[in-house]
Amino acid sequence: MLIQSIKGRNMELQPRRATVLPFTPEIARSTGQLYARVAHVVPEVEWAVHASYIDAINRLKRVKNAVILAHNYMTPEIFHCVADFVGDSLQLAREAAKTDADVIVQAGVHFMAETSKILSPDKTVLIPDLKAGCSLAASITGADVRLLQQKYPGLPVVTYVNTSAEVKAESDVCCTSSNAVAVVEDIAREHSVDTVIMVPDEYLAQNVAKLTPVKIITWKGHCEVHERFTAADIRAYREGNPGVVVLAHPECPPEVVAEADFAGSTSAMIGYVDKRRPARVVLVTECSMSDNVAVEFPDVEFVRPCNLCPHMKQIALPKILHSLQTMTHEVTVEAATAARAKAAVERMLAVGAPRQRAAA
């Protein structure tokens, strides 16, 4: 029984066909520089498990002309050691649009891989685990959007990128948390309306509505990670950590954002730390963010309460290696849906152009 359950768990973390690779002195040498970079947040005992996968992935990427696009919520051994590009949803979408690699491995969740495929239809886009979903993407369908359009004729639909391709296809324009205000204002202007429909994140829409005169009709989707933070949590962080600067993601409920010093996308939070260098900071978001940012700013103290995203955490090094070895799981989007979704994503990309951070 015990052996069976341990085997079962290993299947989750380490797909059956991924070779278990030994940590040899040669691997220790070839990955030494990478370890020096993350030693602050990755214990030596864990590195002995990660290093051989990192070495194998980085070799195989070159053979297959593949790039790894990693979201800011990936764990540090992925984010800092195998990723070619890192960033928030918008930055990864921009990178997917311009890469000349043959293969994109999306170290993130399924909607991000779909966005990459929509923008790069000729490339092979892989997601290392099909279970990497998203509670926001699961909260709405294309049929739901069509019903909203019937209910509110003439109002444009702004769709958060955390949605399926079929939902994007029904939309006038997409947005991410880093460009939502600009996108809402732009589409309202273009349609000469004072109200837009914004789906599916109710809290993001409410937070955006506070920053623009445009009125917003929303949907009851929530991020299962950010909805769990409360205003009382923020007050407790301040009480327990005098002087702490609180940065929150706009997927948090508005009362949480109201208690924070700053709200912005994952990359906007990184930008804040980079520019302001607070002595002590708490990132009110997914757990891996603080680890990843702490690598770059060892002089900043990160207070670590956070919530894990179970979807992002499906992605692990053995699965990335397996993905490259077997070219699975390939993400495809039906051509007519992809064409309509692409128009909405490209409309978004035309609205704002934040800078791209390349992984070191």
Binding site for ligand SF4 (CB under 6 A): 109, 134-136, 162, 223-225, 251, 286, 309, 311-312
| Least distance from ligand SF4 to the Cβ atom of residue 308, Å | 9
Contact assessment for residue 170 and residue 157, using Cβ atoms and an 8 Å cutoff: yes
Query: Which residue is listed with tokens 């990192």?
Result: 54
Residue numbers 312-331 binding ligand 13P by CB under 6 A: none
Q: Does 106 bind ligand 13P (CB under 6 A)?
A: no
22 token code pair: 């030994």
* Cα–Cα distance measured from residue 360 to residue 353, given in angstroms and rounded to the nearest whole number: 21
Measured from the CB atom, is 187 or 309 closer to ligand 13P? Answer: 309
Query: Restricting to residues 248-267, which ones interact with ligand 13P according to CB under 6 A?
Result: 251, 265-266
| 104 vs 223, beta carbon nearer ligand SF4 | 223
Exactly one of 31, 115, 176, 314 binds ligand 13P (CB under 6 A); that residue is 176
Q: Report yes or no: 94 and 120 within 8 Å, Cβ to Cβ.
A: no
SS3 state at 340: helix
Q: Counting Cβ atoms within 10 Å, is residue 343 exposed (0-12), middle (13-18) or buried (19+)?
A: middle
Question: Which residues partner with 262 through β-bridges?
Answer: 247
Instruction: Find the binder of ligand 13P among 14, 52, 75, 89 (CB under 6 A).
Output: 89
**Residue with Cβ nearer ligand 13P (51 or 132):** 132
Gap between the Cα atoms of 243 and 132, Å rounded: 36
Give whichever of 18 and 113 is closer to ligand SF4, judged by the CB atom: 113
Residues numbered 143-162 forming contacts with ligand 13P, rule: CB under 6 A: 162
User: In angstroms, what is the minimal distance from the CB of 243 to ligand SF4?
Assistant: 28
Looking at the Cβ atoms of 56 and 134, the one nearer to ligand SF4 is 134
Pair 245, 261: CB distance under 8 Å: yes
CA neighbours closer than 13 Å in the CB half-sphere of residue 228: 10
By the criterion CB under 6 A, which residues form the site for ligand 13P?
72, 88-89, 162, 176-177, 223, 251, 265-266
